Chain A
Amino acid sequence: MDLLSNLALGFSIALSPFTLMLAVIGCFLGTIIGALPGLGPSNGVAILIPITFSLGFDATSALVLMTSVYYGAMYGGRISSILLNIPGDEPALMTTLDGYPMAKQGKAGDALVISGVASFVGAFLATIALMLLAPYIARLAYKFGPAEYFALYLLAFSTLGGMASNNQAKAAMASLIGLGLAMIGQGQSGTPRFVHGNLHLMDGIDFLVAIVGLFAVSEVFVFLESHGKESSIGVKLEKVTVPVKELAATFWTMIRGSIIGFVAGVLPGAGASLGSFMAYMAEKSYIGEKGNFGKGDPRGVAAPEAGNNAAAGGALVPMLTLGVPGSGTTAVLLALLMTLNITPGPTLFTDRPEVVWGLIATLLIANFVLLAMNVPMVKIFVRILMVPPAILLPGVTMISFVGIYSLSGSSFDLLLMILFGIMGWLFRKMDIPTVPIILGILLGGSMEDNLRRAMTLSGGDPLYLFSSPIAVVLWVMAILGFVAPIFLRRYLRKPPAVTD
């Protein structure tokens, strides 16, 4: 058995005490980096790269440390989403929608355990799939050109309307604001837009700046406005137990979320944020009106967490087999590999089996380490809640500033973050959801790039967008995703209206 001997090789590398130690350190650092607002997996990994250089790590050790940090950050992001309503990093954005309401209802422990297990299921399944299928599924990337990617993003946005169920117009407005913000900078066209000669805006607005501003800084303003009396932070705390019943009930949700997330991760143009978003929206439309989404449904934390962790594993597939990064973090990992003299690509699995299989074995081990850190030790994180907001909020603010400053080392980003904070505070007053803004910034640029590429390739012929079966299927799903909820809701609302 080729696979078994490869795995044996992998474990012989991964099970050395030094590598194991690196994996544990990486998982721990990653979880913290993920949980801190403003520090996400991609800048977490980037910050640590110089350390691997100065310590003179060999390729396998460096890769083990970095991917443990990567996986750890994907787990850790959910903690602040659930406890503080501030996404720890961009893929954990969707977890705020149901995770925080759960925490407000006193089920913070449940939410953390369920999402921890969901993260494990997602990451574990993705690692297995990476191990068994990587060379084959990498070919999926060859099937996706500009037209297909554009349709995929369209599918994501078409389901946005159904997300903020209270007022669709406000959700639509928020996503348009996000799309507008995504246009700032020197995009695909090479022409700077809305930059006004400011070099800081040339690369566009970093979504982390927007996330921290809209979620964390606006929270501080609300708190200040009420002279410290009001804060949505500060949730009821009850005893943390393992919610066996809910875990069982969300099992299939996790499986479904993992599959969707993995596919999104494998596609280089999609990534973890899209994976968790699609997993959440798919689960929501699958459950339909029976669910309690947006108000603390356990499936609403299980789906996106399984989705984003599976996407993280999926994103390693095109990175290793094609050298194409499927997410911001894999782009940094790819750069690290190149500096270590490893050129990922079609020949990596045969040229450097020790790197690939050592990595896969480490990922399997890291997953169990992370499960242990994130489920039994969850009480440590819940204890954060006992700190009164008057102490907690300044701490969060301080971390936000340090985190954002570490992105580019420029004070411009700090001012921008405060601006987003004011915007978030105003939008809260007007009851406009902020999640669609972030999604607009995250996905808008790539969506536009792909549309422009499609138009360049076809010489401006819009029919090119429907020129492949994959594209057509995605378009049909997008249109259904937009229209179906409207009809479905009417259909489902009728029976209660009759019985009343």
Chain B
Amino acid sequence: MKKHIKGFGLGAFFAFAMGTSALATECIAPANPGGGWDFTCRQIGKILFDIKQVDAPVQVTNMSGGGGGLAYAHVVNERGSDPDLIVAASSATTTRLAQNAFAGMTADQVRFVGAIGADPGVIVVAKDSPFQSLNDMVEAIKADPGSVAFAGGSAAGGFDHLKVLQVLKAAGFDDIRSVKYIGVDGGADAVTQTVGGFTQGMTGDMSEIVGFLKSGEVRALAVLTEDRVPGFEDIPTAREQGLDVVAVNWRGLYVPKDITDDQFKAWAEKLQAVADSAEWKEAMAANGLAPFTKVGDDFQNWVNGVVAQTVELSKEIGVLQ
């Protein structure tokens, strides 16, 4: 019994430690500690305080569930006008919103205040693959859509799946429902399946493939950014190969919808300050993120465009009715 009482105390301590709230800025990471959203909150939160954009240390709250949907519902329903609240978001947030995966909630129920870094999208093959360029692969799919299968870390219809489809659409291939895609448990697993020869291509983020690139087990056919990524200058962009697709997994924040325009602008400026700081540049380099800064109305407009495009693609592949 003694142990159990001790253990209970321990559990209560953790529950308490996680549940405390302060009057200072709160950053909600809609996932468990350790993931990408958690990283966003902890890094941005730390730098905001370090460069004196906020007066008190930022409180990070982990609120996992529903792939980010629970936190979204919480912000929309209960914190709609809280000016001291920021929430970590990424491409997954907008993809899920566009695909109606948050139980009917829509992207216009919050304001997307900015992204200050991005994990570039990549298309990868095993080292012994016959494909030497992105166009080789596209031609093979055009000739026989069943001959090339892709693995990615997101579920069917998720962001990794959509990247491939965007590339194929840009190449003028419209029968995108015939493209084979399997969603596995994360990018590294997708690489494993591709190296093992079960799939012919892997679609994911740059950070997921760095180790395999170094060991020479895979080759990247294209990176889906505007320019080549610093540190990976030998990987051509899809644009260079005539396929105009930019798909990056951005890391950023949204804020409640009913804050004032001035408050929204203030957050945009603070985020810009974080993006300009040396500390953030260091954190980006260490985590395989490429520069990608869009804040304020500029970012909101860009998000609106991405959501619209995702809706269109999702309808075409039948993920969305």
* A positions within 8 Å CB-CB of B: 29, 32-33, 35-36, 39, 46-47, 49-50, 53, 141-146, 186-192, 197-200, 202-203, 268-269, 318, 322-325, 331-332, 335-336, 338-339, 341, 343-348, 380-381, 383-384, 387, 391-392, 395-396, 398-399, 402-403, 405-406, 408-410, 452-453, 456-457, 459
Do B73 and A344 touch (CB < 8 A)? no
List residues of chain B with CB within 8 A of the CB of A46. Answer: 32-34
State which of A268, A341, A348, A384 has its C-beta within 8 Å of the C-beta of B4.
A384
Which residue of B has the minimal Cβ distance to A80?
A: B4
Could you list 24 A-B pairs, sorted by A, with CB under 8 Å? A29-B10, A32-B6, A33-B10, A39-B11, A46-B33, A142-B196, A145-B196, A145-B197, A190-B99, A190-B101, A190-B157, A197-B104, A199-B69, A202-B103, A268-B185, A268-B189, A338-B34, A341-B287, A348-B211, A399-B8, A408-B64, A456-B182, A457-B149, A457-B199
* Residues of B with C-beta under 8 A to A396: 4
Beyond the given pairs A144-B196, A457-B198, 15 more chain A to chain B contacts, judged by CB atoms under 8 angstroms and listed by A's residue number, are A46-B33, A145-B193, A145-B196, A146-B182, A189-B156, A200-B66, A318-B192, A331-B186, A341-B286, A345-B214, A346-B212, A346-B214, A347-B211, A406-B18, A410-B65
Q: Are B65 and A200 in contact (CB under 8 A)?
A: yes
Contact of B1 among A142, A188, A339, A391 (CB under 8 A): A391
Whether, in the assembled complex, B183 has its beta carbon less than 8 Å from a beta carbon of chain A, the answer is yes
A341–B149 Cα distance when bound, in Å, is 32
B34 touches A324 (CB 8 A): no
Asked if B19 is at the interface of the complex by the 8 Å CB criterion, the answer is yes
The chain B residue sitting closest to A202, CB to CB, is B66
* Beta-carbon contact of A325 and B192 below 8 Å: no
Question: What are the residues of chain B within 8 A of A197 when measuring CB–CB?
Answer: 103-104
Which of A186, A323, A398, A399 lies in contact with B188, CB distance below 8 A? A323
Q: Can you list, as one digit per residue, whether each of B144-180 has a CB less than 8 Å from chain A (1) or not (0)? A: 0010010000011110000000000000000000001
9 nearest CB pairs, A to B: A345-B211, A335-B34, A145-B198, A346-B215, A323-B188, A199-B66, A142-B196, A202-B66, A49-B33
Chain A residue numbers with a CB within 8 Å of B14 are 47, 406
Instruction: Select which of A33, A53, A323, A457 is within 8 A of B211 by beta carbon.
Output: A323
| Cβ–Cβ contact B185 & A456, under 8 A | no
For B70, the chain A residues whose CB sits under 8 A away are 199-200, 408, 410
Give the shortest distance, in Å, between B214 (CB) and chain A (any CB).
Answer: 5
Q: Are B195 and A142 in contact (CB under 8 A)?
A: yes
Q: State the majority secondary structure of interface residues on A.
A: helix
- Indicate whether A457 sits within 8 Å of B65 (C-beta atoms), given known contacts A343-B207, A395-B4: no
Asked if A32 and B155 sit within 8 Å, CB to CB, the answer is no
Cβ A190 vs Cβ B65 within 8 A: no
Give Cα A72–Cα B269 distance, bound, in whole angstroms: 46
Residues of A within 8 A of B182 (CB): 146, 452-453, 456-457
The one of B34, B198, B210 in contact with A49, judged by C-beta atoms closer than 8 angstroms, is: B34
- A146-B198, A457-B198 in contact; A395/B66 too (CB < 8 A)? no
Set B60, B69, B184, B188: member contacting A453, Cβ < 8 A: B184
Expressed in whole angstroms, the minimum distance between the Cβ of A103 and any Cβ of chain B is 16
When C-beta atoms are compared, the residue in chain A nearest to B6 turns out to be A32
Min CB distance A445 to B, Å, is: 11
- Whether B3 contacts A381 by the Cβ 8 Å rule is yes
Is the CB of B67 closer than 8 A to any CB of chain A?
yes
| B63 adjacent to A203 (CB under 8 Å) | no
Which B72-116 residues sit within 8 Å CB-CB of chain A?
A: 73, 99, 101-104
A273 CB, min distance to chain B CBs, angstroms: 15
Contact at A346–B34, with CB atoms within 8 Å? no
Residue B264, interface by CB 8 Å: no
With A and B bound together, what is the CA distance between A174 and B196 in angstroms? 36
| Contact A402–B199 (Cβ < 8 Å) | no
Return the CB mask of B1-44 against A: 1 if under 8 Å, else 0: 11111111011101101110000000000001111001100100
A residues near B42, Cβ cutoff 8 Å: 53, 339
Inter-chain CA distance A456–B183, complex, in Å, is 10
Interchain CB contact under 8 A, B65 and A202: yes
In this assembly, does B181 line the interface, its C-beta being within 8 Å of a C-beta of chain A? yes
A192 touches B192 (CB 8 A): no
Is there contact, CB below 8 Å, between A35 and B8?
Answer: no
B288: CB under 8 A from chain A? yes
* Chain A residue, CB-CB nearest to B285: A341
Inter-subunit contact B192/A384 (CB<8 Å): no
B34→A32 contact, CB < 8 A:
no
B217 CB–A CB distance under 8 Å: yes
| CA distance in complex: A330, B236 (Å) | 34
Please report the C-alpha to C-alpha distance between residue A346 and residue B217 in the assembled complex, in whole angstroms.
Answer: 9
- With A325-B186, A347-B211 already in contact, the answer to whether A141 and B65 are too (CB < 8 A) is no
A457 near B192: Cβ-Cβ < 8 Å:
no
CB-defined contacts of A406 to chain B, threshold 8 Å: 11, 14-15, 18
**Beta-carbon nearest neighbor of B19 in chain A:** A409
Known: A192-B101, A402-B15. A322 touches B192 (CB 8 A): yes
Q: How far is the CA of A346 from the CA of B207 in the complex (A)?
A: 14
With the chains together, A409 CA to B181 CA distance in Å? 34
A190 and B155 contact, CB distance less than 8 A: yes
Would A324 and B192 count as touching, CB distance under 8 A? yes
A268 partner residues in chain B, CB cutoff 8 A:
185, 189, 192
Min CB distance B176 to A, Å, is 14
> Which residues on A sit within 8 Å (CB–CB) of B56?
none
Verify if B319 is at the interface (C-beta below 8 Å from A).
yes
Contacts of A324 in B (CB 8 A): 185-186, 188-189, 192
A310 CB to closest chain B CB (Å) equals: 22
Contact between A456 and B149, CB atoms less than 8 A apart: yes
Q: Please, which residues of chain B bring their CB within 8 A of the CB of A192?
A: 101
The answer on a CB contact under 8 Å between A202 and B196 is: no
Query: In the complex the two chains form, what is the Cα distance from A199 to B68 in whole Å?
Result: 9
User: Least Cβ distance of A73 to chain B in Å?
Assistant: 12
**A313 to B15 Cα, complex, angstroms:** 29
Instruction: Tell me whether A142 and B214 are in contact (CB under 8 A).
Output: no
User: B11 contacts which of A144, A335, A403 (Cβ < 8 Å)?
Assistant: A403
Asked if residues A380 and B286 are in contact (CB atoms below 8 Å), the reply is: no
Report the bound CA distance from A43 to B200 in whole Å: 35
Q: Which residue of chain A has the shortest Cβ distance to B190 in the bound complex? A: A324
A143 and B196 contact, Cβ closer than 8 Å, known pairs A406-B11, A453-B182: yes
Most buried by A among B17, B73, B193, B195: B193
Q: Is B65 touching A335 in the complex (CB atoms < 8 A)?
A: no
Known contacts: A384-B3, A402-B8. The answer to whether A186 contacts B67 by CB under 8 A is: yes
